[in-house]
Amino acid sequence: MDTTLSVADRIRTARKQAGLTQQQLASHYDIPLRSLEAWERGLRTPPEYLVNLLLRCLEIDFPSAGSTAEQKDLSAPSSPKTTMYTDTIGRPLKEPVLSAVMRAYADGKVQDLGNSTVDYDGNYRPDPKGRLYMVLEPDKYGLDMGLTFYVKEV
């Protein structure tokens, strides 16, 4: 992203490259819509660290951005291409744990622990690794007690 642009232009350009409306961006990142509108109009300027964080999150969450012709509809579910099962660090699960976790997940023997994480300021943000689950009956599937894993559809 070109840093010679104003903060308003940087935010607006990144949002459009991600193919999002102001409403979609605000909703996706839990930003008050009026704040986002004021930022893009140049009426208010968020702190630079917040601008950098927002731009980085957009790059990570919308890597195929670049075409503004197509608006992404975040409210309509899209058909997932692949379901990824990862450990708490974000590494893909390996066999035989992967098969056991997939069986437990399919059987509904998992507890949904949510998809948000807390940042250093105590704010809740969507977890980029996906939704966190814990296997409820690990011994039934040959797993260790307290096994947690992430599920993300990509």
CATH of domain 7-61: 1.10.260.40
pLDDT 10s digits, 41-71:
999 999 988 898 898 888 888 875 544 434 4
Separation between Cα atoms, residue 121 and residue 84, nearest integer Å: 29
Share of the chain above pLDDT 70, in %: 84
Separation between Cα atoms, residue 87 and residue 148, nearest integer Å: 7
Model pLDDT, residue 44: 93
Model pLDDT, residue 32: 92
Instruction: Give CA separation, 18 vs 27, 103, 119, 129, in Å.
Output: 14, 35, 23, 19
pLDDT 10s digits, 99-121:
999 999 888 898 888 777 766 77
Of 124 and 27, the one with more pLDDT: 27
Domain ranges for the chain, please list them.
Answer: 7-61, 83-153
Q: What is the pTM of this model?
A: 0.44
Instruction: Give CA separation, 130 vs 5, 65, 143, in Å.
Output: 33, 20, 21
Model pLDDT, residue 40: 93
